[in-house]
Structure 1
Amino acid sequence: MSFTSWRDVYLAAGSRGISACGDFLAATSLALVLQQRGHAGIAVSGLLIAAALPVAVLAPFTGRLADRADSRTLLVLAGALQAVVATVLAFTSQPVAMIGLVALLACGVAVTQPTLAALTPAMVRPEDLPRASGLGQAASSIGALAGPALAGLLIGTAGPRPALLLDAVSYLALVAAGLLIRTRRGARPSEASPVVPWRLTTDRTLTTLFAAMFVVIVGVSAINVFEIFFVRDTLGAPATVWGLVVASWTAGALIGTGLVTRLPKRYFTGSIAVALMAAVCLPILIAGAVGSAVWLFPLWICGGLFNGALNVMCAVILADRVVPGARGRAYGMMNAVAQTANMVGFVVAGPLVDHFEPRLLVAACGAAGLLAAVACLPMVRSAVRCEPPADPAPGEAAPMRASVVG
C-alpha cells in the first residue's frame, strides 16, 4: 500500500478504545457483583480465567480465520454476537452462567483482536506504522482507565444492570468499525493477501521475544494480585491510594505509547524490545524496597511508560517480520502468549500470598522478569546474525528483518 488511510486508523482505534472500556466495565462490574453477593474468591478467579482462556486456546483457529475471512464480516458478526451475549449477561444472576457468558464474550475477543491488529499494517505506509499502532494502544489504555471508573459510578448509583447493558452497547462500536473501515483483508480472493504457511518456531527472534514476554507478563500479572496486599497491609495505605496506584500504571502506559511513536523506524528492533521488557520490571524490583505507598506512583508510572512503549514496539516488529498473509495468525499467537501468561500469573500468585511476605513477592516478580529479559538479550542479538533472509511470499517484498532486529 502506497498511502495511509488515517480515517481507517482512527475508526479502528476508536472501536478498540470503546470495546476495551466495555470489557473493563463488565469485568469490574461482575467482580463487584460477585463480591457483594458473598460468593467465594474462586468465583472471581473463575471469571478472570474465563475472560482469558478462550483467547489463548482459540488463537490458532481465530488467527487463521483473521487471515482468510473477510475482515468486515468478522468484525460485524463478532461485535453483534458479543452485544447479544452481553445483553443476556445483564439479566443473569447465577455465577456459573455468568462465567460461561464471559467465556463466550472472550471468544469474540479472540476473533476481533487479531482481525484489527492485522488490519492496521494494511492501512498505513511502513513509516507510519508506529504512529498508527500507538493510536490503537492509546485508545485501549484510555478504555482501560475509563471502564473501572465508569463501573464504580454506575453500580454505586444505578446498580450493575445498566453497567452491563452499556457494555453490550460498546460492542456495537466494532460493528460500526467493520461497516465503516474501507481497508479490508480477505474481502475477495483476487484482492486478499495470500495465505502463506507460518510457524512461530521458524523465526528465532520472535520465538525468543515471545519467551521473554511470557516470563515478564507472568510477573506483571502476579503483581495485580500482590499489590493490594502490599499497598494495604505492608505499606498501610487506604483503599483510595491503592486504586490510584493501579491507575498510575495505565497512565504511564499512555505516556509511553505517545513517546515511542516519535522514534524513527530504525529503533524498532528486537534488542530494544527486550531492553524495554527489562525496564518494565526494574521499577517493580525497586518497589520491593520502598517504605511508603507514595513512592509507588512514580515507579508505577515509569513501569507503565515502558509497558506502553513495549506494546507498540512489539506490534511494529511483528508486522515487519511476518508477511501480510500470516499476520492474523502471528497477532493471534502474541495474544495467546499474553493471555496464557496472565493466567499463569494469577494461578501462581494466589497460593504464594498466603505463605510469603508481599514485599518479598513484589521484589521477586521484578527480579524474575528482569533476569529473563537480560538472559534473552544476547539470544535475540545472535538470532538475527544466524537466520537467513526470508523468502518473500509471491507478489510481496521480503520482511525487513535486518532493520527491525539488531
Structure 2
Amino acid sequence: MSFTSDGSRWSDVYLAAAGRAISVCGDFLAATTLALVLQQSGHGGMAVSGLLVAASLPITLLAAPAGRLVDRADSRTLLILMGFAQAAVCAALAFTTHPVLIVALVALLSCGLAVTQPTFAALLPGMVRSADLAKASGIVQTAGQIGMLAAPALAGILVGLTGPRVPLLLDAASYLALVVIGLLIRTRRGAATGKTAGSVPFRLRTDRSLTVMTVAVAAVVAGVNAVNVFEVFFIRDTLGASTAVYGFVMASWTVGMLAGSLVVGRVPRRRLTLRVVLALLAASCLAVLAGASVQSAGWLIPLWILGGVANGALNVCTTVMIAGRVPAEAHGRAFSAYGAAVQGAGLLGLIVAGPLADQFDPRVLVAGAGVLGVTAALACVPLVRRDREEQAGEMSAPAGSSKPSAAI
C-alpha cells in the first residue's frame, strides 16, 4: 500500500495523466490505422486477429519478468529507455507495408508496453494519499480516455486523406513525449528509492479478493474481446459505414469511458467492491449484445457510450483495489500479474476470433460475444458470494483462530 504521507503530489498526477493521454492516443491511432490498412488491402479476419494477438501476447508472456523489473529498476530510467525504443519501432511501422512485418513490429512495440504500463500504474499510489487514490486514478484514467476518444476518429480521417504514414509517425512522436514526461515526474520508485522487490515476496493468488476480481474480469474479457476483430467487419461491411464513421463509432465507447472514470473517481474507496466489479462487467457486455441488433452504425454510438461508462468505472475500481491491498514494493508485480491474466484471456478470444470472422456473419459473431460475456459475468457470482462468506466467517472467528482479511 504505502501511499505518500507528505500530501498528494497533484503536479505528478497531472503529468502522469498527460503522459497517459499522449501515449494512449498514439497507441490507438496506430491500432485503428493498421486495422483499417489490413481491411482495405483485402486481408481478412486472420490478419486483423494476428495484429491484435501481436499487441497482446508479449504483455502476457513478459508479465513476470516485467513486474520484477518495474519493482527493482529506477522508474525514470525505464520510462526514458522504453520511450525512445518505442518511438523507433513506430517510425519503422510508418514505412512498412508487408502484413507479416507489421505484425512483428507491433509485437515488438508491445514488449515496451509490458514495462511502461505497470510502471505508471505502480507510480500512482506513491503520488497521493490513500484517501485521494480514487480521485487520482479517475484523473489518469480520464486523460487516457481523452486520448482514446481522439485517436479512432483522427485515424479514420487521416487514413482517408493521407494514408497510413502520417498517423503512424504521430504515434512515434507520442513516445518521445513520454520520455519528457518521465523526466519531469518527481515521484520515483525501484532502485531510485532503495525499496525494491527483493524485500517483499508477493503472489497475486495469496489475496483471495484480488484473485476473485482477476478471475471475473479475465473470464468476461475472454468472452467479449473477440469483438475487437469482428467490429471492423460489422461496421464497415455489414452496416456499410465509411472509415470516418467507423472511427467515430469506435470513439463513442471512449466517450462513455471518460464519463465512467470521472464519476467513479468521486466514489469513496470502501464502495469499490467485488460486486461493483461484476455489475460493471455485465453492463458492458449487455451493451455489446444490444449493438448486434442495430441496422445503422449510428445506433451503435449510444450503446457503445453506455458500455464505455461501465468500462471506465471498472478500470478505476480495479486500480484502487490492487493499490490498496498490495505493498508498494510489490505494485509492479501486482499490476503486471493482473494485466497478464486479463491480456491472456483477451488473447484467447482473439485467437478464436480470426477463423470465425472469415466463416460467419459479423452480426452473429458480435451477438455471440455479448452473450458469452454476460454468461461469464453471471458464472462468477458464486465466487463473489463465497469470498464474502469466507471473509465474514474470518471476521467473526474467535481471537487467535485466524487473521481477518482486509475489507473488500
Match of 2:301 in 1: 297
Match of 1:167 among 162, 171, 194: 171
Query: 1-side partners of 2:388 and 2:110: how far apart?
Result: 35
Residues 288 and 363 in structure 1, CA contact (< 8 A), matched pair in contact too: yes
Query: 2-side partners of 1:347 and 1:225: how far apart?
Result: 10
Match of 1:238 in 2: 241
Q: Does 1:332 align with 2:303?
A: no
Match of 1:85 among 85, 89, 111: 89
Question: Which structure 2 residue ranges, 5 or more long, are not aligned?
Answer: 396-402
Q: Does 1:277 align with 2:259?
A: no
Q: Does 1:351 align with 2:341?
A: no
How do 1:190-209 residues align onto structure 2 when only pairs under 5 Å count?
A: 190-191=194-195, 195-209=199-213
How do 1:116-265 residues align onto structure 2 when only pairs under 5 Å count?
A: 116-188=120-192, 190-191=194-195, 195-231=199-235, 236=239, 238-239=241-242, 242-265=246-269
Query: 2-side partners of 1:43 and 1:286: how far apart?
Result: 27
Match of 1:394 in 2: none
Q: Does 1:322 align with 2:326?
A: yes
CA change 1:280–1:179 in 2 (3 A) is same
Can you list the C-alpha shifts for 1:249-278, whole angstroms capped at 9, x where unaligned? 111111111111121221111221112112
Two-structure CA RMSD over aligned residues (Å): 2.7
Match of 1:367 among 368, 371, 378: 371
Compute the displacement of 1:14 (Å): 0.7
Residue type of the alignment partner of 1:170: S
Match of 2:400 in 1: none
CA change 1:358–1:26 in 2 (3 A) is closer
Match of 2:70 among 66, 71, 76: 66
Query: 2-side partners of 1:361 and 1:41: how far apart?
Result: 12
CA change 1:34–1:230 in 2 (3 A) is closer
Residues 251 and 301 in structure 1, CA contact (< 8 A), matched pair in contact too: yes
Can you list the C-alpha shifts for 1:330-379, whole angstroms capped at 9, x where unaligned? 11122212222222222222333455554443333223222322232332
Moved more, 114-123 or 269-278: 269-278
Match of 1:401 in 2: 406
Q: Does 1:48 align with 2:52?
A: yes
Match of 2:398 in 1: none
Query: 1-side partners of 2:98 and 2:290: how far apart?
Result: 42
SS in 1 for 2:212: helix
Residues 47 and 102 in structure 1, CA contact (< 8 A), matched pair in contact too: yes
Query: 1-side partners of 2:253 and 2:56: how far apart?
Result: 21
How do 1:302-317 residues align onto structure 2 when only pairs under 5 Å count?
A: 302-317=306-321
Compute the displacement of 1:297 (Å): 2.9
Query: 1-side partners of 2:164 and 2:246: how far apart?
Result: 23
SS in 1 for 2:190: coil
TM-score when normalising by structure 2 = 0.87
Query: 2-side partners of 1:96 and 1:352: how far apart?
Result: 20
Query: 1-side partners of 2:250 and 2:162: how far apart?
Result: 25
Compute the displacement of 1:400 (Å): 8.1
Match of 2:12 in 1: 8
Residues 321 and 399 in structure 1, CA contact (< 8 A), matched pair in contact too: no
Query: 2-side partners of 1:41 and 1:223: how far apart?
Result: 11
Compute the displacement of 1:99 (Å): 2.3
Query: 2-side partners of 1:229 and 1:156: how far apart?
Result: 17
CA change 1:292–1:81 in 2 (3 A) is closer
Residues 257 and 308 in structure 2, CA contact (< 8 A), matched pair in contact too: yes
Residues 230 and 359 in structure 1, CA contact (< 8 A), matched pair in contact too: yes
Residue type of the alignment partner of 2:274: G
Residues 50 and 354 in structure 2, CA contact (< 8 A), matched pair in contact too: no
SS in 2 for 1:171: helix
SS in 2 for 1:362: helix
Residues 79 and 178 in structure 2, CA contact (< 8 A), matched pair in contact too: yes
Query: 2-side partners of 1:26 and 1:226: how far apart?
Result: 18
Residue type of the alignment partner of 2:312: G
Residue type of the alignment partner of 1:216: V
Identical-pair percentage? 57
TM-score when normalising by structure 1 = 0.88
Match of 1:376 in 2: 380
Query: 2-side partners of 1:150 and 1:129: how far apart?
Result: 32
CA change 1:174–1:291 in 2 (3 A) is closer
Residues 62 and 111 in structure 2, CA contact (< 8 A), matched pair in contact too: yes
SS in 1 for 2:380: helix
CA change 1:399–1:107 in 2 (3 A) is farther
Q: How many residues align?
A: 394
Residues 48 and 229 in structure 2, CA contact (< 8 A), matched pair in contact too: no
Match of 1:392 in 2: none
Moved more, 273-282 or 285-294: 285-294
Moved more, 114-123 or 132-141: 132-141
Match of 1:115 among 92, 116, 119: 119
